[in-house]
Amino acid sequence: MVDRDGKSWPAWQLVDTPDGFRAISPRPSPEDLKRHYNDLYFVKGGAANQYTYEYTAAELRHKDLAFAEAAALVQPDSGFYLDLGFGEGFGLAYFRDLGWEVTGVDFTTTGIDQYFPELADQVIVGDLFEEIDNLVDAGKRYDLVVVNNVLEHVLDPGVMAASIRKLLTPNGIARIAVPNDGSWLHELLIGSGRANPDFYVSPPGHLQYFTIASLTRFLERHGLAVVDMMGEFPIDIFPLNEDSNYLRHPPKGRNCHFARVEFELGLWDQGIDALIAFRRGCAAGGVGRNLAAYVKAQT
């Protein structure tokens, strides 16, 4: 099999796991996966290539949406904030501006150097698992831990979930976001011929595939109680209309993306409670391109 970057990998298939989600088999070795991300982020300006897109003003505001949602849902007005896989640093900047003490961990600072270089002293650069272990061993605890679109990438998501639990204060909350893959909406798109059977499968980048039910089972199995669930705008409704089916006609995806941005910003303008109500409703219906589980450590 050849991935989207033109590299050859074994033929993969999706298999059910004891934890309830679906996963790629065979698994890449740690060495192969490390090489993949090394090539992606560190070879020939790879990291810079990840962040060359110029956002519109609306997209920049939309970047804050997940963090505004989180700020509205957590109890303390300030505290200790940890962002695992901080990327461009929008979450760090948002909570810094609210008066929180912020820390981020990621493989590179390229994104944050571009958008928030003043936060360089608040981030840790290195292997995510190793740095998480270092934080746990140092006794660090956080009131809010954000893990957006990380869990689907790692070889052992159970270990990461257990580590997140250890990083929470007694009343701490974690926001864990993953793509919603294999949902009933995806099955509808596939069954009606609007999408290929494997359209959402993208190894070696994505190794795990979660639905709302399987994400909930997985988190609770690893000591995290789900206290709220959000479904971000279901952009994957657009392929139901052939005129906006970006899966068959990729150039249509740009307008679909901006429709999502405008809709969610419009909801936010009605008040953060309106946005949260919409996202809760999406999750209750099993839709939302990304899922965001809010969890506490089980007692």
- Residue 243: burial class (beta carbons within 10 Å; 0-12, 13-18, 19+): exposed
Pairing of strands 208-209, 22-25: antiparallel
pLDDT in tens, 111-129: 999 999 999 999 999 988 8
- Give the pLDDT band of residue 184 (cuts 50, 70, 90): very high
Looking at residue 59, which CATH number applies to its domain?
3.40.50.150
User: Could you list the residue range(s) of the whole structural domain that residue 265 is in?
Assistant: 13-297
**Could you tell me what percentage of the chain is helix, strand and coil, using 3-state DSSP and rounding each to the nearest 5?**
45, 20, 35
- Give the pLDDT band of residue 238 (cuts 50, 70, 90): very high
pTM of the predicted model, to two decimals?
A: 0.92
Instruction: Give the pLDDT mean for 247-254.
Output: 97
What is the count of structural domains for the chain?
1
7: in domain: no
2: in domain: no
1: in domain: no
125: in domain: yes
The residues, any chain, with a CB within 8 Å of residue 104's CB and separated by 6 or more, are: 82, 83, 84, 86, 89, 91, 92, 112, 119, 122, 123, 124
6: in domain: no
User: How far is the CA of 268 from the CAs of 59, 205, 276, in angstroms?
Assistant: 13, 31, 9
Pairing of strands 101-106, 123-125: parallel
- Give the pLDDT band of residue 62 (cuts 50, 70, 90): very high
**Taking 50 as the threshold, does the pLDDT of residue 44 lie above it?**
no
4: in domain: no
33: in domain: yes
- Read off the tokens for 94: 């948002």
Instruction: Give the pLDDT mean for 5-12.
Output: 63
- Read off the tokens for 152: 């689907």
Q: Mean pLDDT score of the chain, rounded to an integer?
A: 92
- Residue 133: burial class (beta carbons within 10 Å; 0-12, 13-18, 19+): middle
5: in domain: no
The residues, any chain, with a CB within 8 Å of residue 156's CB and separated by 6 or more, are: none
